[in-house]
Amino acid sequence: MTWWRAARFGMFIHWGLYAIPAGQWRGQSIPGIGEWIMLRARIPVREYEQLAKQFNPTRFDADAWARLAKQAGQKYLTITSKHHDGFCMFDSKVTDYDIVDATPFARDPMKDLAAACQRHGIRLCFYYSQTQDWHHPNGDGNDWDYDETRKDFDCYVDEYVKAQVREILSSYGPIGMIWFDTPKRMTLQQSRSLVDLVHDIQPDCLVNGRIGNGLGDYAESRDNAIPGERLGEDWEVPATINDTWGFKTDDHNWKPVDELIRKLVDCASKGGNYLLNVGPTADGVIPEPSAERLRAMGKWLERNGESIYGTHAGPVQGLDWCRSTARGGTIYLHVFDWPSWGSLEVPLAVAKARLLADGSELRVTDSAISAPASAPDPIDTVIALDLRV
Ligand code: H79
């Protein structure tokens, strides 16, 4: 868990056939998250499959994606190898329903991504939907093509899921983590056997909490739900920049950069990781509104990364105007709301205070820190504190 705890910030990528309809089906806007379009519009398997013949992401550039993660200050990248729609974005030998066999692209983008991540020092991780599979006759969730009561789910897990988990762990070098989702009907025995399989093939590969039944190396929060307070365990929150995971043409509800930075800080202050999603288009491009926000987060992290990476939850908790993180003897106070009255009152025995961004010292009297009239950084001014011993 060492690298994962130090990382604090990762890139999530939802990319699949659903990027082609991008939220529109037969001239209608389908509400909800983009990658759920097959279920929301009850699209028959035989019809949805046809999308593969159009999937040709000629503008896909693995190096650009890994570079963007690097610029954003993200340390790992988790990409959908197979989402609930069942389409495999990697070259699978146990099905033809994959990007190499079923699309005009006919290449395995995960190979390029693995190489690009290696070059840029980003850990590659795979999302894999182990329960829901709306394409496989025995997978969970599709009741419009198949009779749910006649499915052999055990067989789907034993013969299909396990074979594919083996493939994604054997073909792309070291994998940081397998990100399972929506365990639903997984039994304890099934969750356990998948964890064991992952560790058999790559002992250092982590498994997230959504393997189900209380297993996994860390807890996964609900989608977009940052816990209200620090937790006594390792945790991560998967989060969107707009409202969808998979690309949708009509979702323009982009969160502002200051909100995204504060969410990252909020996570770090509670001892958790922020896994922030991008949904590339069907041509293979990360939408510019996402890219520009990520670059701005990276700029902030260039100045303030010391207060995020490798830190744990700080001692000041439960105040609205600030957050805190800590490493070694140093406390990092993250000031969201700057005081108009010239002093910051901190419930700590402060000996020394300096602005992290430029190193300048701030005067300290009786644990009150003299504050410049206006916030040096209106998003989050970080002050590094040494305590009296
Ligand atoms: O991969 C992303 C989501 O597709 C996946 N998790 C993140 C990381 C996810 N799977 N299930 N869910 C999220 C929760 C599903 C919520 C639902 Fe709905 C409410 C399914 C049906 C009603 C939202 C609204 C999705 C479709 C309509």
87-96 pLDDT, tens digit per residue, is 999 999 999 9
Question: Residue 389 has what pLDDT?
Answer: 82
CA of 377 to the centre of ligand 1 (A): 36
- 330-335 vs 364-365, strand pairing mode: unpaired
Ligand 1: residue of 11, 25, 36, 186 to mutate (most ligand atoms within 8 A of CB) is 36
Which has the closest alpha carbon to 48: 179, 141, 171, 187?
Answer: 141
Q: Given a cut of 80, is residue 28 above it in pLDDT? A: yes
> In whole numbers, what is the pLDDT of the chain averaged over residues?
98
Q: Please give the average per-residue pLDDT across 28-45, as a whole number.
A: 98
Give the pLDDT score at 366: 84
Closest CA to 354 of 322, 315, 385: 385
Are 86 and 51 in contact by the 8 Å Cβ rule? The answer is no
Cβ of 184 less than 6 Å from ligand 1: no
36 Cβ inside 6 Å of ligand 1: yes
Backbone phi, psi, residue 135, to 5°: -100, -40
In this prediction, what percent of the chain has a pLDDT beyond 90? 99
Q: How confident is the model at residue 256 (pLDDT cuts 50, 70, 90)?
A: very high
Which pLDDT belongs to residue 367?
76
Choose among 10, 50, 29: nearest CA to 237. Answer: 10
CA of 33 to the centre of ligand 1 (A): 7
Beta carbon of 40 within 6 Å of any ligand 1 atom: yes
Please work out whether the CB of residue 35 comes within 6 Å of at least one atom of ligand 1. Answer: yes
